[in-house]
């Protein structure tokens, strides 16, 4: 009886999960690799005297791809933690499920995903800490070296309904130079300095996330990163990554919902330097440059 009561209580959430699974997609990075396992550590130093002047961000993930004829199913587990100079922090856990399908027209692919996740300070976790999101993405092959992507992203952020149009490219400019990404999420220019050994380049990353706090308020993190990077490949699949750059239009806000409207207070808006170190087990999906 207790199991039935639990299922009944969460029936609306389960129904919403399946509806979004039909409509939405996460696998939108358009990158020529898949990290089957990865751990990343970031540090942001803004130089001001606020409690958010020094921010560290660590995340890890595991991915399991399953080939289904010409299609691919990817189940991913993801964990992240932000720590601030004040001593406080927020966390995120998600289990994205993505399905990429080859359409009858060989020049077209589509992909859908669902992103159920918990974003909070991990104090007294309840169903109020859950978010549901995802995206849909279509890929049009212009030629083998050039593909265009478009779609939409959605997430039930704590500050409200959040949807973005997506536009991307996957362009093998030469055997050593790639441009790929989906805006406004990310864009990367990769140069294979020593193909299969050392790859370098420039990267852009945009972040908008919200986290529920124990007192019922929420914290919104909005950030954009412009970085240079270097990847060193060991034993073919082990990759050590180093990045350095600067944040752009960085803004942290505290908010609370009352009377059907949001009240938000700006906590930090100072940009700073960002550094990242990462290690991953990577599966390249393209051919190594010559």
- % of the chain surpassing 90 pLDDT: 63
Q: Is a pLDDT exceeding 90 seen at residue 50?
A: no
Q: What is the mean pLDDT of residues 284-289?
A: 70
Q: How confident is the model at residue 7 (pLDDT cuts 50, 70, 90)?
A: very low
Q: Record the pTM.
A: 0.84
**Length of the chain (residues):** 290
Closest CA relative to residue 208, chosen from 256, 137, 271, 153: 153
Q: Is a pLDDT exceeding 80 seen at residue 271?
A: yes
Closest CA relative to residue 282, chosen from 40, 11, 5, 19: 40
> Would you call 27 helix, strand, or coil by DSSP?
coil
* pLDDT given at position 173: 95
Q: What whole-number distance in Å separates Cα of residue 28 and Cα of residue 137?
A: 7
Q: What whole-number distance in Å separates Cα of residue 58 and Cα of residue 4?
A: 38
The ranges assigned to domains in the chain are: 2-284
Strands (E) located in the chain: 33-45, 54-68, 71-84, 89-94, 97-102, 108-120, 130-143, 146-157, 160-172, 177-183, 186-194, 198-212, 218-234, 238-258, 261-268, 273-284
Cβ atoms < 10 Å from Cβ of 244: 12
- % of the chain surpassing 70 pLDDT: 86
pLDDT in tens, 84-120: 887 789 999 999 999 999 898 989 999 999 999 999 9
* pLDDT given at position 219: 93
Is residue 229 within 8 Å of residue 205, measured between CB atoms?
Answer: no
Task: Look at strands 177-183 and 238-258 and give their pairing.
Answer: unpaired
Q: What is the mean pLDDT of residues 202-209?
A: 96
Q: In the CATH hierarchy, which fold is given to the domain comprising 2-284?
A: Porin (2.40.160)
Q: What whole-number distance in Å separates Cα of residue 50 and Cα of residue 142?
A: 49
3-state secondary structure 82-104: EEECCCCEEEEEECCEEEEEECC
Q: How confident is the model at residue 265 (pLDDT cuts 50, 70, 90)?
A: confident
* pLDDT given at position 49: 62
């Amino acid at each position: 009886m207790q199991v039935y009561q639990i299922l009944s209580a969460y029936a609306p959430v389960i129904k919403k999960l399946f509806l979004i699974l039909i409509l939405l997609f996460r696998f939108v990075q358009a990158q020529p690799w898949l990290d089957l396992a990865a751990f990343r550590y970031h540090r942001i130093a803004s130089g001001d005297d606020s409690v958010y002047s020094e921010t560290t961000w660590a995340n890890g993930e595991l991915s399991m791809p399953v080939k289904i004829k010409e299609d691919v199913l990817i189940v991913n587990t993801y964990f992240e933690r932000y720590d601030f100079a004040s001593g406080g922090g927020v966390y995120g856990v998600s289990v994205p499920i993505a399905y990429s399908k080859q359409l009858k027209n060989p020049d077209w692919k589509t992909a859908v995903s669902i992103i159920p996740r918990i974003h909070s300070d991990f104090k007294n976790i309840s169903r109020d800490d859950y978010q549901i999101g995802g995206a849909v993405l279509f890929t049009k092959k212009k030629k083998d070296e050039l593909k265009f992507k478009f779609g939409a992203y959605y997430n039930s952020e704590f500050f409200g309904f959040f949807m973005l149009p997506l536009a991307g490219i996957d362009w093998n400019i030469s055997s050593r130079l790639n441009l790929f990404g989906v805006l406004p999420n990310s864009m990367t220019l990769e140069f294979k300095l020593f193909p299969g050994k050392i790859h370098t380049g420039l990267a852009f990353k945009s972040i908008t996330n919200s986290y529920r706090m124990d007192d019922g308020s929420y914290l919104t993190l909005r950030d954009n990163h412009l970085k240079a990077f270097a990847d060193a490949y060991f034993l073919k699949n082990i990759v050590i990554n180093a990045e350095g750059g600067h944040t752009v239009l960085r803004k942290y806000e505290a908010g609370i919902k009352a009377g059907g409207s949001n009240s938000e207070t700006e906590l930090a808006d100072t940009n700073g330097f960002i550094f990242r170190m990462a290690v991953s087990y990577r599966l390249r999906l393209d051919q190594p440059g010559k």
